[in-house]
């Protein structure tokens, strides 16, 4: 076919949700274009295969930032899913909605009247099927399977108890009543398998027969006439093709690819486009700007006691783990490893948590792109609400050449100060009595790194992404806004952007769940449906 009602660019977290919800009406013909392959690699579906999934160059865009000024001019690897399911097929599966006050800030500070948490909560619930059961915060019958961490390891129990002992707190559910403290995390996992957006949403959509998926199809340009979008041009199996969109083209390429494609198509900062010889269709200075991410450092500690997970990389144990997973979907293979974590405050002056932990009961080191497991445990420390801003820009007008990106990690002094406090808080947590029988020597950064100056040097030396690029096609009505509250691109007809790039401010947590919620709301907007009724759930906001 040479025309469809809706053409969705990208079969990632947002694109899969859109395909499913728009396709519920079988009268709609929908085309989904994905640059990567099908999600047929077994390592994608085994939760413990997450390392191999995200390090696989065949299912990854393999982006690299430009030199980051505050990280000793290091280039930071930026993995992004180039596969059906997008990054939901290669991520660590942590399901985190962010704090309710994040969305309320979108409403109060960014002028987004339709985006308070009360208005978003019903879509989180509708999309989710949680093994915790349905209540006023959680959904029980949605497409996305969500399960609480259940892998048994004494280190998880020590981690939770250390939260209580340190005063950093404990939460039964960070996505529920109390979004603060140490907790067992949720994962996008169902029956021991990864529940990616492709598994949850795209497969049901494809089964109806009115949604077509083309893999290995990279979109080169959005086709426009007089600021009205008519379709897209893309490359498929070596052939360049054009497809018409009778109703809309929807970009769901993510915070890097969506602004890149807009600029290639003449929608973006006029001066920058002209520098690359691109005809300007719409001067939108905010395209690619306001780029945000969570910076992350990882601490590791030797473990006095050995557990089976520390030896799982041994060939015979790896085989046994795989066989057990194949036949039972249980054991280490069914764990996404980072099954515990927390949301805490860097100081009492902060209104709500600005630091996130991810805790794993095993240590690791990389050598020649191979991972070795250590008798150790590890804790990620993420700075959640950065004030630093970066940008995505064109390297050239060639659509097959990767864009440039600079996040300016820790450029704002308060970002560095919060990360420093976060590292100290993590050390304080691990120093609690609950860890006494397990805690060996601190391996990274090491006991010799004590002063603030030494810790700052350590942070600058090792900080990396926590894989949450966002905010590069901001939603709103400011001069730098790219889309309106319904995600329609300003100054362009029949074109929307629906993915993490439309967030005006980054969410204080992992972005996969919020991205799927945004897409679900967008689908109703596209179809002209009334939004689900707001839900005023109660929450514990610690003073």
> Mind giving me the DSSP string for 51-79?
HHHHH-GGGB--EE---BGGGTTB--EE-
Look at the block and give the residue holding tokens 């005809």.
279
Going by the annotation, the residues of the binding site for FAD are 83, 91-94, 219
Element (DSSP H or E) covering residue 515: helix 512-526
Gyration radius of the chain's alpha carbons: 22
Q: Would the pLDDT of 296 be above 60?
A: yes
Strand order across the 144-148 sheet: 94-95, 186-187, 144-148, 128-130
Model confidence pLDDT, tens digit, residues 418-457: 999 999 999 999 999 999 999 999 999 999 999 999 999 9
Question: Max alpha carbon distance in the chain (Å)?
Answer: 69
Q: What whole-number distance in Å separates Cα of residue 43 and Cα of residue 485?
A: 38
Q: Would the pLDDT of 542 be above 70?
A: no
| Tokens describing residue 371 | 């991972």
Model confidence pLDDT, tens digit, residues 386-421: 999 999 999 999 999 999 999 999 999 999 999 999
Spatial CB neighbours of 459, under 8 Å, sequence gap ≥ 6: 297, 410, 416, 419, 420, 423
Q: What's the confidence (pLDDT) of residue 418?
A: 98
Please report how many Cα atoms fall inside a 13 Å half-sphere around the Cα of residue 189, on the Cβ side: 32
Q: What's the confidence (pLDDT) of residue 423?
A: 98
- Enter the CATH code of domain 150-184+295-383+410-462: 3.30.410.40
Q: What's the confidence (pLDDT) of residue 455?
A: 98
Give percent of the chain with pLDDT exceeding 90. 95
Lowest mean pLDDT among 23-32, 82-91, 250-259, 361-370: 361-370
Q: Would the pLDDT of 369 be above 80?
A: no
Spatial CB neighbours of 258, under 8 Å, sequence gap ≥ 6: 10, 251, 252, 472, 473, 497, 499, 501
Q: What whole-number distance in Å separates Cα of residue 421 and Cα of residue 345?
A: 9
Q: What's the confidence (pLDDT) of residue 371?
A: 84
Q: What's the confidence (pLDDT) of residue 170?
A: 96
Give percent of the chain with pLDDT exceeding 70. 100
Q: What whole-number distance in Å separates Cα of residue 409 and Cα of residue 70?
A: 7
Fold of 1-94+187-290+470-499+510-533: FAD/NAD(P)-binding domain (3.50.50)
Instruction: Give the residue among 485, 488, 347 at the shortest CA–CA distance from 419.
Output: 347
Model confidence pLDDT, tens digit, residues 1-48: 799 999 999 999 999 999 999 999 999 999 999 999 999 999 999 999
User: To 5 degrees, how large is the angle CA 274–CA 503–CA 199?
Assistant: 105
Element (DSSP H or E) covering residue 45: helix 42-45
Q: Would the pLDDT of 133 be above 90?
A: yes
Q: What whole-number distance in Å separates Cα of residue 395 and Cα of residue 64?
A: 13
pLDDT category at 331 given cuts 50, 70, 90 is very high
127 SS3 class: helix
Phi–psi pair at 92, nearest 5 degrees: -85, 5
Spatial CB neighbours of 446, under 8 Å, sequence gap ≥ 6: none
Q: What's the confidence (pLDDT) of residue 541?
A: 76
Instruction: Give the residue among 365, 418, 414, 420 at the shortest CA–CA distance from 388.
Output: 414
Q: What whole-number distance in Å separates Cα of residue 428 and Cα of residue 154?
A: 19
**b/e per residue 378-391 (b: at least 16 CB within 10 A):** bbbbbbbbbebbbb
Listing DSSP states for 343-407 in one string gives EE-SSTTSSS--EEEEEESSEEEEETTEEEEESEEEEEEEE-S----EEEE-S-S-TTSPPEEE-
Q: Would the pLDDT of 377 be above 80?
A: yes
Instruction: Give the residue among 504, 5, 453, 503 at the shortest CA–CA distance from 254.
Output: 503
Q: What whole-number distance in Å separates Cα of residue 110 and Cα of residue 114?
A: 11
Tell me how far the alpha carbon of residue 155 is from its chain's centroid.
26
* Number of continuous H segments (helices) and E segments (strands) in the chain: 14, 29
Look at the block and give the residue holding tokens 């709301």.
521
Q: What's the confidence (pLDDT) of residue 367?
A: 80
111 SS3 class: coil
Instruction: Give the residue among 518, 386, 367, 412 at the shortest CA–CA distance from 465.
Output: 386
DSSP state of 46: S
pLDDT category at 150 given cuts 50, 70, 90 is very high
Q: Do domains 1-94+187-290+470-499+510-533 and 150-184+295-383+410-462 have the same CATH topology?
A: no
162 SS3 class: helix
Beta bridge partners of 374: 363
Q: What's the confidence (pLDDT) of residue 543?
A: 54
pLDDT category at 55 given cuts 50, 70, 90 is confident
Q: What's the confidence (pLDDT) of residue 184?
A: 98
Please report how many Cα atoms fall inside a 13 Å half-sphere around the Cα of residue 72, on the Cβ side: 9
Is 260 among the residues known to form the active site? no
Q: Mean pLDDT, the chain, as a whole number?
A: 96
Q: What's the confidence (pLDDT) of residue 197?
A: 98
Q: Would the pLDDT of 54 be above 90?
A: no
| Tokens describing residue 42 | 């077994």
Q: For the residues 366-377, what does the mean pLDDT come to?
A: 87
Model confidence pLDDT, tens digit, residues 467-507: 999 999 999 999 999 999 999 999 999 999 999 999 999 99
| Tokens describing residue 274 | 């002209």
Domain positions in the chain: 1-94+187-290+470-499+510-533, 150-184+295-383+410-462
Q: For the residues 107-128, what does the mean pLDDT come to?
A: 97
């Amino acid at each position: 076919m040479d025309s469809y009602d809706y053409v969705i660019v990208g079969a990632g977290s947002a694109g899969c949700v859109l395909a499913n919800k728009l396709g519920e009406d079988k009268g709609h013909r929908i085309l989904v274009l994905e640059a990567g392959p099908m999600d047929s690699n077994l390592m994608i579906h085994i939760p413990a295969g997450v390392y191999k999934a995200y390090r696989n160059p065949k299912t990854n865009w393999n982006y690299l930032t430009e030199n980051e000024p505050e990280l000793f001019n290091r280039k930071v690897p930026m993995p992004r899913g180039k596969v059906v399911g997008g990054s939901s097929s290669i991520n660590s599966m942590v399901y985190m909605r962010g704090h309710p006050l994040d969305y309320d800030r979108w409403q109060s500070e960014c002028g987004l009247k339709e985006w308070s948490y009360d208005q978003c909560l019903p879509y989180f619930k509708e999309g989710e099927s949680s093994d915790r059961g349905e209540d006023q915060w959680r959904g029980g019958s949605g497409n996305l399977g969500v399960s609480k961490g259940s892998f048994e390891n004494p280190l998880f129990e020590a981690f939770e108890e250390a939260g209580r002992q340190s005063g950093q707190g404990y939460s039964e559910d960070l996505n529920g009543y109390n979004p603060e403290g140490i907790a067992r995390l949720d994962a996008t996992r169902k029956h021991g398998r990864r529940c990616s957006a492709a598994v949850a949403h795209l497969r049901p959509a494809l089964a109806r027969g009115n949604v077509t998926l083309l893999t290995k199809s990279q979109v080169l340009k959005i086709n426009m006439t007089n600021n009205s979008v008519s379709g897209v041009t893309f490359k498929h199996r070596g052939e360049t093709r054009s497809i018409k969109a009778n109703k809309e083209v929807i970009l769901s390429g993510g915070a890097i690819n969506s602004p890149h494609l807009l600029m290639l198509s003449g929608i973006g900062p006029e001066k920058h486009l002209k520098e690359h010889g691109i005809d300007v269709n719409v001067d939108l200075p905010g395209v690619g700007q306001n780029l945000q991410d969570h910076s992350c450092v990882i601490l590791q500690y030797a473990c006095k006691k050995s557990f089976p997970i520390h030896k799982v990389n041994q060939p015979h144990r790896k085989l046994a783990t795989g066989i057990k997973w194949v036949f039972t979907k249980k054991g280490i293979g069914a764990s996404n490893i980072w099954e515990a974590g927390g949301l805490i405050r860097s100081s009492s002056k902060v209104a709500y948590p600005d630091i996130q932990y991810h805790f794993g009961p095993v240590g690791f080191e990389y050598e020649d792109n191979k991972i070795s497991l250590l008798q150790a445990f590890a804790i990620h420390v993420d700075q959640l609400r950065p004030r630093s801003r970066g940008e995505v820009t064109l390297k050239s007008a060639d659509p097959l050449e990767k864009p440039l990106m600079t996040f300016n990690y820790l450029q704002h002094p308060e970002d560095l100060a919060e990360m420093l406090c976060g590292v100290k808080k993590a050390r304080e947590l691990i120093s609690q009595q609950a860890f006494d029988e397990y805690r060996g020597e601190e391996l990274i950064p090491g006991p010799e790194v004590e002063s603030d100056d030494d810790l700052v040097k350590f942070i600058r030396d090792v900080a990396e992404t926590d894989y949450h690029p966002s905010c590069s096609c901001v939603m709103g009505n400011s001069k730098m806004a790219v889309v309106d509250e319904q995600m329609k691109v300003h100054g362009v007809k029949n074109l929307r952007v629906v993915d993490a790039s439309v967030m005006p401010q980054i969410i204080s947590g992992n972005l996969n769940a919020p991205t799927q919620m945004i897409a679900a709301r967008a689908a109703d907007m596209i179809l002209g449906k009334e939004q689900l009724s707001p839900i005023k759930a109660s929450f514990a906001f610690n003073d």
